[in-house]
Amino acid sequence: MSNVLRLAIVDPKDGTREALKTMLLGMDTAWLEAECSRYEFFADVVQQTHPDIGIVALDHDPNKALDLVVKINEMSPDCSILVLSSSTDGNLILRAMRSGAKEFLTQPVKLEDLIGAMTRIRERRFGRGESKSKGSTVIAVTGATGGVGTTSVAVNLGCAIARDPKNTVALVDLDLCLGDADVFLDIIPDYTLYDVSQNVTRLDFSLLKRSLTKHSSGLFLLPRPVQMEDMQHITTDDLTRVIGLLKATFSHLVLDLSKGYSPLDIVALQSADQILLVTQLDLPCLRNIVRLMTSFNEMDGIADKVKIVVNRVGIDSGQISLKKAQDTIGREIFFQLPNDFRTMVDVRNNGVPLLDQAPRAAITLAISALAESLTGAKPDEEAAADPAKSSKKSLFNFFPGKKAAAK
């Protein structure tokens, strides 16, 4: 579980309730678990959904609202109460605090004030410093063209991250037409991205996990729709809410994008903390990287998140040198994955991840090292003291010829 706080709100006034909902939906650190328009029902809502924070708007009926705050504190003491009012009357603020409210904010609520109040509640609940759980990390995997191994990287990267028991990882297949992440994992899911997106407002954390299919590696999969006609019903708003709920549930989220750079793919790129742009060392791929980066530079905050990953390095002939590739695209190569055609064919046809099919293969070690570099996993002490002593941490040992390619 990440440090996303789950919230429930009650406000009989539709206008202020909708304004608060809109503000919450734009926050990565909050998930709106439930909303209510009647004071008399809200205590039951809190008991059923167990939010971290209950937000109570006072203005409709301050006396009823404050009685509700007292009731929630008695019935659900783990729920911290944050109250809102357009009044700044000192007596009302004092009554709210005596009733058990942890924070008092003035309406209309300012984003910075809401974030500050939530931060204080989080610190009181979880404590300060490193003992506090970290937020979710979103990794988008996309390709310079089709057939470069984007899904292979996404699936096996997800499995590698999930191998660490401290991590909870979900993979979302955003190639709505031809996605095949389920084939790579040899699983037949009960629900798809379409099902979850159409019911996201009614999902809670436990129901969400039951809607995803869990692989033996620990990776959860949300596959593309079964029926092609369902593609058109998944909107950018739907995907934004799905990603928000997944971020509130999993420590890591891997998004396998399509090759069309559709509006849904752009939402994924905007939501990502890191973007892996998978390519090969050939001219069409490198030219596409230049084109893509030109577009990404015009999109706020996307270009800086892009990391170039070169796949299938070491193919016998026809590859452009690493130096020439970097000169062409004007960017450093973040990571290289060795060519291992036979192993990858077996992995795909058997529906078994690299960690199970070929745990000692060079490509498997490279994917594991990529996972470590993205998640900030600490290397062993010997490698940290002297990186040259750890062959597994040195990418030059994964395959022959890389040093020559780098010249």
> Are 94 and 186 found together in one domain?
no
Higher per-residue pLDDT: 78 or 134: 78
Higher per-residue pLDDT: 182 or 136: 182
The strands making up 333-338's β-sheet, listed across from edge to edge, are 213-214, 220-222, 169-173, 252-256, 137-143, 274-279, 306-313, 333-338
Domain finish residue from 115, 130, 145 = 130
The answer to whether the beta carbons of residues 17 and 37 sit under 8 Å apart is yes
| Residue 403: pLDDT band with limits 50, 70, 90 | very low
Answer whether residue 296 is part of any domain.
Answer: yes
Question: What per-residue confidence (pLDDT) applies to 337?
Answer: 97
> Are 82 and 224 found together in one domain?
no
Using CA atoms, how far apart are residues 63 and 50, in angstroms rounded to an integer? 24
Question: What per-residue confidence (pLDDT) applies to 123?
Answer: 82
> Are 116 and 157 found together in one domain?
no
Q: Which residues pair with 275 in a beta bridge?
A: 140, 306
> Are 63 and 170 found together in one domain?
no
Percentage, residues of the chain above pLDDT 90: 71
CATH code of the domain in which 106 resides:
3.40.50.2300
Q: From the CB of residue 265, how many other CB atoms can be counted at a distance below 10 Å?
A: 20
Mean pLDDT of 221-230: 95
Percentage, residues of the chain above pLDDT 70: 86
Using CA atoms, how far apart are residues 95 and 63, in angstroms rounded to an integer? 10
Domain span holding position 30:
5-130
Residue that is written with structure tokens 């206008």 in the block: 15
Question: What per-residue confidence (pLDDT) applies to 110?
Answer: 85
Answer whether residue 210 is part of any domain.
Answer: yes
> Are 115 and 143 found together in one domain?
no
Residue 210, C-beta contacts closer than 8 angstroms, at least 6 positions apart = none
> Are 308 and 223 found together in one domain?
yes
Q: Is the pLDDT of residue 31 over 90?
A: no
- What mean pLDDT value characterizes the chain? 87
**Tens of pLDDT, residues 272-313:** 999 999 999 999 999 999 999 999 999 999 999 999 999 999
Give, in order, the Cα–Cα distances in Å from 327 to each of 172, 321, 333, 390.
Answer: 33, 10, 10, 30
Return the closest-CA partner of residue 300 out of 276, 325, 266.
266
Question: What per-residue confidence (pLDDT) applies to 182?
Answer: 96
| Residue 127: pLDDT band with limits 50, 70, 90 | low
Whether residue 387 has a cis bond before it, omega within 30° of 0 = no
CATH code of the domain in which 298 resides:
3.40.50.300
DSSP 321-347: PHHHHHHHHTS-EEEEEE--HHHHHHH
Helix H or strand E encompassing 6: strand 5-10
Domain finish residue from 74, 103, 130 = 130
Using CA atoms, how far apart are residues 217 and 356, in angstroms rounded to an integer? 9
> Are 75 and 184 found together in one domain?
no
Q: Is the pLDDT of residue 1 over 60?
A: no
| Residue 204: pLDDT band with limits 50, 70, 90 | low
Answer whether residue 59 is part of any domain.
Answer: yes
Answer whether residue 382 is part of any domain.
Answer: no
Question: What per-residue confidence (pLDDT) applies to 317?
Answer: 66
> Are 394 and 245 found together in one domain?
yes
Answer whether residue 380 is part of any domain.
Answer: no
Domain finish residue from 98, 130, 162 = 130
- Max CA pair span of the chain: 80
Structure tokens given for 355: 């960690």
> Are 259 and 215 found together in one domain?
yes
How many separate domains does the chain show?
2
| Residue 32: pLDDT band with limits 50, 70, 90 | confident
Question: What per-residue confidence (pLDDT) applies to 370?
Answer: 97
Q: Is the pLDDT of residue 382 over 90?
A: no
> Are 54 and 84 found together in one domain?
yes
> Are 227 and 354 found together in one domain?
yes
Structure tokens given for 73: 């504190």
> Are 206 and 284 found together in one domain?
yes
Return the closest-CA partner of residue 189 out of 209, 159, 160.
209
Answer whether residue 46 is part of any domain.
Answer: yes
Answer whether residue 381 is part of any domain.
Answer: no
Using CA atoms, how far apart are residues 87 and 78, in angstroms rounded to an integer? 27
